[in-house]
Chains A and B, each alone.
Chain A
Amino acid sequence: MIQVDERLLERIAKDKDFNAQACFNCGTCSALCPMGLGLLPRELFRYVLLGARDRLRELSDVIFSCLLCRLCEANCPRGVRITHNIRTLRSYLVKDEYRIL
């Protein structure tokens, strides 16, 4: 079960450019991804929107595998800033979850 983590929601809400809510789940991005990251970005974004902190930790491999090539972003019909969103997540994982910095 996904438990909504309010701190994660607040943290993401601070980033005004994070626009995953515009995604309407069409799947164009997943189909185009040269890394074959099937999960990315639509399901991932859904987890972020819901504040599913545990899922993000489980998915950190996927989040760091993205090439940031923007093939998906260039074709997203909803103008989701996919690579920006992924950078936001990486920074969240590094700073808030793993506290590497």
Chain B
Amino acid sequence: MEAKIGVFICYCGGNISDYVDCERVREAVSKEPGVVVAKTFMFTCSDAAQEEMIADIRKEGLNAIVIASCSPKLHLQTFRNMARRAGLNPYTYVQVNIREQCSWAHTHHKEAATRKAIRLVRAGIAKARLSIPLEPIKVKTTPAVLVVGAGVAGMRAALALADMGLEVHVVEREKAAGGWVKKWARVFPSGRPGEELVNTLLKGFEERENIYLYLETEVVEKRGSVGQFQVRLKGPQGEQEVEVGAIVVATGFSPYVPKEGEFAYGASGVLTLQELHALLKRGIEGRFVYAGREVRNVAFIYCVGSREKEGHTYCSRYCCTAAVYLGLLLAERYPEVKQFHFYRDMRTYGKYEIFYHNCLEKGAIFLRFEPPDVPKVEVAGERFFIRVKDRLTGGEEVEVPADLVVLVTGMVLSPNENLVNVLKLPVGKDAFFNEVHPKLRPVETVIDGLFIAGACQGPKNIAESVTSGLAAAAKIGALLLQKELRLEPLVAHVLKDRCTGCGECVAACPYEALSLKTEDGKQIAYLNPALCKGEGACVPVCPEEAIEIWGYGHEQIRSMIQGLCKEDL
């Protein structure tokens, strides 16, 4: 078919036209083969300009358009929609960025900026000339979800998903659901025993018929892609397979376990925060006795296993608040026990600051240290002496006697090598699972249909874990409640007659979208378009040029290079 291309160049209200001579660009490109219309606009994105372009598309019967304006990040969708309204296939539209990639970058040299803009637009025209109309890839969705890990994050996500009418399979590797929270004597900010929170969630499970809980079960295999995953589970009753449209990983954390001798850990009377929880949960009548001796002084040492120079460099977020909150419980039950809190920075952020103040009012004494001057714990018979340079007393050395030392331990990822391998979970440099972007896409992973929530993403308290569980549920709802997904068609495809089945591309693909398959007795590469991200790692490694990306074909790229190199400026 003969190409009939429209080229529209944007002034961007001066952002472009102050440095690029847009009229000269229009002149230069209007003579390119296939160009039937070439125009400039003050703002191509304005309604008036869009209406004019739509009219041109219809009047001239254009079959491809090029808009030279800003970054596709900003307006690719705007102009694709415009093309659609004009009756043009959106994938025959090419956006050329002459703002971020030209005028803004070369404000010091207008002539060169103009020449570069001409080259960029010519390349765009070359691409448009060979563009092919494409349709989104359609995938039917299975209205079911797999939740891995039945802590508060996973359980709350499961309830929300069930309420959307989706079938929810919750897999928990332990004997009981609830994660760590059920172990806590009393949790901030509600003041309820952790078990009570978990029981509320469990009751919700019982009340819903579309939640299936699998205890002592793990995920052993995953196949398929977004909308249609097949997952094999291994439990006490053997293996079984479930079909789901999306997966949420909410496998939580492990408390940091101090090394033997770290702040005298290992000596009787040195506990971690979770060990103190267990002690207080059991409850001790009357006076506070530990290992047969009465406890008069308790010392809390903060930031153990967090904010290290190397290793666990991050702040574990929950622990300052958890420690002062436990201090309050201690003060309530045993008002005669004196508390000494050795902290670095009091990170009881938000409204939790009130717990710190309450703890101060109860008479707890806070001493502030700063590495490398960390508290030293000396074991002296049945007692401990903790020595520290206290920043709140002008750096003077203070020695505190204590009967119980509580190490305020941080969070590390719950060990999960198998799951990481089976699901190909992205792991960050702090060893927690990685989201795409902590603020903009906080529960999505680079793998479509695979979500993460709760403390497996990084340290979180209960409220934050539950919030991220609900966020994942909302994202999945938006995905699976449409019966059919429409995925971007700009993915790779194998040119079967050229492919020799060497497997180079299979090894290059980071998303396992490619595999080798026998077809008509010949081994060739096979692509799962729902897994492909269209990022092109496979294209340059193929010795036969047998794989290309829709919208970025070999011929298109070659002619773009020619457009860029043409010297008639």
Contact = CB atoms under 8 A, between A and B. Distances in A.
A21 B297 contact: no
Nearest to A4: B400
A13 B363 contact: yes
Given A21-B361, A22-B360, A49-B365, A6 B401 contact: yes
B363 A21 contact: yes
Size band of the A side of the interface? Answer: 10 to 19
Contacts of B338: 6, 9, 13
B507 interface: no
B317 to A, nearest CB: 23
A43 interface: yes
B401 A4 contact: yes
Contacts of A2: 390, 393, 396-399
A43 B296 contact: no
A47 interface: yes
A92 B396 CA distance: 24
A24 B396 CA distance: 18
Listed residue (B361, B397, B398) with the most chain A CB atoms within 10 angstroms of its CB: B398
Interface string A49-81: 110100000000000000000000000000000
B392 A25 contact: yes
Interface in B427-458: none
A21 B360 CA distance: 6
Contacts of B394: 43
A3 B399 contact: yes
A1 interface: yes
B396 A6 contact: no
A1 B365 CA distance: 17
Nearest to A25: B392
A70 to B, nearest CB: 23
Contact of B296 (A6, A46, A52): A6
Interface string B352-373: 0000000011010101000000
A4 B398 contact: yes
B399 A1 contact: yes
A95 to B, nearest CB: 21
A22 B397 CA distance: 22
A8 to B, nearest CB: 11
A60 to B, nearest CB: 19
Contact of B393 (A3, A13, A21, A46): A46
B397 A1 contact: yes
A49 B396 CA distance: 14
A38 to B, nearest CB: 12
Interface string A1-27: 111101001000100000001100100
Nearest to A47: B393
A69 B394 CA distance: 27
A46 B398 CA distance: 12
Interface string A32-53: 0000000000010011011010
B322 to A, nearest CB: 21
B398 A50 contact: yes
A61 to B, nearest CB: 19
B393 A1 contact: no
B342 to A, nearest CB: 12
A21 B340 CA distance: 13
Contacts of B365: 21, 49-50
Contacts of A4: 340, 398-401
Listed residue (A1, A43, A50) with the most chain B CB atoms within 10 angstroms of its CB: A50
Contacts of B340: 4
Given A46-B393, A47-B393, A50-B393, A1 B398 contact: yes
Contacts of A9: 338
Nearest to B340: A4
A9 B296 CA distance: 12
A49 B390 CA distance: 13
A9 B337 CA distance: 11
A28 B394 CA distance: 17
A6 B360 CA distance: 18
Contacts of B363: 13, 21
Interface of B: 296-297, 338, 340, 360-361, 363, 365, 367, 387, 390, 392-394, 396-401
Interface of A: 1-4, 6, 9, 13, 21-22, 25, 43, 46-47, 49-50, 52
Shortest beta-carbon contacts, A-B, top 5: A1-B397, A2-B398, A4-B400, A3-B399, A21-B360
Given A1-B398, A13-B363, A21-B363, 14 more contacts: A1-B387, A1-B396, A2-B396, A2-B398, A2-B399, A3-B398, A4-B399, A4-B400, A6-B296, A22-B360, A22-B361, A43-B393, A43-B394, A50-B367
11 contacts: A1-B387, A1-B397, A1-B399, A2-B397, A2-B399, A3-B398, A4-B399, A4-B401, A47-B393, A50-B390, A50-B393
